[in-house]
Amino acid sequence: MHPFTYVRAESLPSALDSARTEDTMFLAGGTELLNWARIGIESPSHLVDIGRLPRLHEITSTGDGLHIGALARLNDVAQDPRVETSYPVLSQSILRAASAQLRNLATIGGNPVQRTRCPYFRSNGPVACNKRVPGSGCAALHGANERLAIFGWTEDCVAVQPSDPAVALACLDAEIITEHVDGGRRIPATEFHTLPAEDPSAHNVLRPSELITGIEIGAPAPKSAYVKVRERQSYEFALVSAAAVVEVQDGVISRARLALGSVALRPWRLYDAEQALVGLRPGSPEVMDAVTSGFSASRPLSSNAYKIPLARNTALRALELALEAG
């Protein structure tokens, strides 16, 4: 492992100030960073431990929603009564992510920044991967790509984002709050991750030494659900997943939000399907056609055509469960 220096930050300003040096990374739960260092994905020269920063572990009610501190542990978020009742899609997505032991350590702010599980990106040996070595190519394009993208890929990268909570946050139109020495910002969860056409070497839009401090969610979404399809029920990353949030008025769908996971390098919103669902009666035959309309931009790779019908059916099931909830 590459040698590094370490400092424990006692305040947010001191954390940001300590991160001014080049090749610095923040350490919170550390469940991903240790993996990165082990296989050489990252080799930071300086670690800033933010695990004890005050108030960033708190979950607080806002005028019409919730502010979740970035250091809140995943299990604490999932089991918070306000999340369970008003945002079941988020609670369910977290409880289907990782093992109980990891959820006791991993943070809600750290989970969305995890890196792709593409086997070439995670390889211990040298392979073509634009995310590891920009300009080297994408070995997965014509290689082992059966678990990889069906949306938003280019020949430069066909990987997928594996985070479960990120899918729910995108479906909830959450905002990711950051701080930086040059000023913080609010980033829509739907725009946090970077697609290959934007930059095949990037994972997300965070600037160097930019720190996630919280996540804000708007109005309650009690009619919501998360479905995860995986090869085994125990701890496993998704083949595909889907989050659904719906509102029903006078017996018809008045608003719908659908997001897919593990199909692209960001949670993939099915905006066409969302529009097509408005005005339909739950359970009507037209609902399936509306969901299917969201897949017009899907493109299979050489070995993953199965993911298109699987993702469609997963989205439909998430929608059905959301309509039954609340």
Report pLDDT for 45: 86
Question: Are 160 and 233 spatial neighbours (Cβ–Cβ below 8 Å)?
Answer: no
Residue 101: what pLDDT?
92
Q: What is the pLDDT of residue 5?
A: 87
CB 220 within 8 A of CB 87: yes
Instruction: DSSP for 86-153, please give it.
Output: H-HHHHHHHHTSS-HHHHTT-BTTTGGGPPP--TTTT-SS---BTTTSTTS-BGGGGSS-TTS-SSS-
Residue 82 is predicted with a pLDDT of 98
pLDDT of 201 over the 80 cut: yes
Whether 22 has a pLDDT exceeding 80, the answer reads no
Instruction: Write down the domain spans for the chain.
Output: 1-54, 224-324
Task: Decide if pLDDT at 72 tops 80.
Answer: yes
**What is the model's pLDDT at position 33?**
78
What pLDDT shows up at residue 115?
94
- Whether the CB-CB separation of 69 and 26 falls below 8 Å is answered with no
Q: Say what the pLDDT of residue 105 is.
A: 92
Classified as helix, coil or strand, 268 is strand
280: pLDDT strictly greater than 80: yes
The two three-digit tokens of residue 76, written as one number: 């604490």
Residue 185 has pLDDT above 80, yes or no: yes
pLDDT value at position 1? Answer: 60
Range 54-79 average pLDDT: 96
**pLDDT confidence of 321, banded at 50, 70, 90?**
very high
Percent of the chain whose pLDDT exceeds 70: 100
pLDDT at 41: 83
Note if the pTM is more than 0.75.
Answer: yes
User: Which has more pLDDT, 102 or 66?
Assistant: 66
At residue 71, the pLDDT reads 97
Q: What is the pLDDT of residues 32-63, one digit of tens each?
A: 777 777 777 888 888 899 999 989 999 999 98
The Cα–Cα gap between 235 and 233 comes to 7
DSSP type of residue 208? T
The shares of helix, strand and coil residues in the chain, as percent rounded to the nearest 5, are 30, 20, 50
pLDDT at 4 over 70: yes
Chain Cα centroid distance, residue 182 = 25
CA distances from 302 to 127, 145, 299 (A): 19, 7, 10
Interacting residues of 44 by C-beta distance below 8 A, sequence separation 6+: 2, 4, 23, 24, 25, 37
Mean pLDDT of 151-174: 98
pLDDT at 264: 98
Q: Which helix (H) or strand (E) holds 18?
A: helix 12-18
Question: What homologous superfamily is domain 224-324 in, according to CATH?
Answer: CO dehydrogenase flavoprotein, C-terminal domain (3.30.390.50)
CATH of 1-54, one of 3.40.50.300, 3.60.20.10, 3.40.50.720, 3.30.43.10: 3.30.43.10
- Tell me: pLDDT of 30 over 70: yes
Residue 90's pLDDT band (cuts 50, 70, 90): very high
Spatial separation of the C-alpha atoms in residues 172 and 168, rounded to whole Å: 6
Residue 206 pLDDT exceeds 90: yes
